[in-house]
Amino acid sequence: MAGFGAVVVEADEPVFHHDWERRAARLTMAAMLSGHLNGRFRHAIERMDPAWYLSSGYYEHWLVAAATGLVEAGVISQDELDERLDAPFPLAQPVRAPRLAEPGASSDAHRFAVGERVRVRDMHPAGHTRAPRYVQGRCGSVVRLDGVFSVPDVEYHCDGKRLEPTYSVRFEAAELWGEEGDPVHVDLWESYLEPDDG
């Protein structure tokens, strides 16, 4: 996503601009607390039709993700939604990636050290990844070792979880964009990284 123009700032903006936004937040929080959403929520937002995603606001994304996640969890059905709305209730696009049979082995020992040079793999995932595209294939230095967490790429497509160490990695602007500029630090799971052998 590049070249989007001005960032519009509204002074003293309220948390909710409309009552429907507040109600969307309310039902989303309830759905999250029910325990049925978890990783489905964030993934569902990413599966929205791109034109729809870009032309709708944050709380509409929440509405769609809550509805989609609950349908995928089997708690509500598309038919029930359509009936309540008395019209087709649009959801995010279905999950296309195949389910993983096994999450793979978890690890809690950091493989890389602060100062080490690493390269981000080219992920090309069918499903979800939290390796931002702009750093895939790029090299940087580890600046911080962070905690051990469930890998979203696995969690969203598997019944099991795989836990891995995470890192903050610093990338120079020349590396990312081919011109001088300021560095960007990105937080990455260990399996996104490989040693940079020069």
Partner 1 sequence: MSPVEARDAAFAEPTLPRANGAPVFDAPWQARAHAMAVLVVERTGRTWDDFRARLIGAVTESPDRPYWESWVAALDDLVDESVGGLSGGAVPGGGVPGAAGDGPGAC
Partner 2 sequence: MADGHHHPLPTTAVEDRVAALEALLVDKGILDAASMDAIVEHYEHAVGPMNGATVVARAWADPDYRARLLADGTPAIAELGFAGPEGDHMVVVENTDAVHNVVVCTLCSCYPWPVLGLPPNWYKSPPYRSRMVREPRALLAEMGCVVPDEVEIRVWDSSAEVRYLVLPQRPAGSEGLTEEELAALVTRDAMIGVQRL
Under the rule (CB under 8 A), what is the footprint of partner 1?
29-30, 32-35, 38, 106, 108, 147-150, 161, 163
Which region, judged by CB under 8 A, interacts with partner 2, from 101-109, 111-119, 153-161, 173-181? 173-181
Residue 25 in tokens: 């937040």
CB of 107 or CB of 168, closer to partner 1: 107
If 0-12 CB within 10 Å is exposed, 13-18 middle and 19+ buried, where does residue 131 land? buried
Residue in 165, 118, 120 with CA at minimum distance from that of residue 146: 165
Q: Give min distance, CB of 161 to partner 2, in A.
A: 13
Q: How many CA atoms lie within 13 A of 191 on its CB side?
A: 19
Residues 130-169 that bind partner 2 (CB under 8 A): 130-132, 134, 144, 146-147, 149, 166, 168
Q: Give min distance, CB of 118 to partner 1, in A.
A: 22
CB of 26 or CB of 144, closer to partner 1: 26
Residue 120 interacts with partner 2 (CB under 8 A): yes or no: no
Q: Give min distance, CB of 60 to partner 1, in A.
A: 21
Q: Give min distance, CB of 11 to partner 1, in A.
A: 27
CA 118 to chain CA centroid, Å, is: 22
Residue in 128, 116, 127 with CA at minimum distance from that of residue 197: 116
If 0-12 CB within 10 Å is exposed, 13-18 middle and 19+ buried, where does residue 28 land? buried
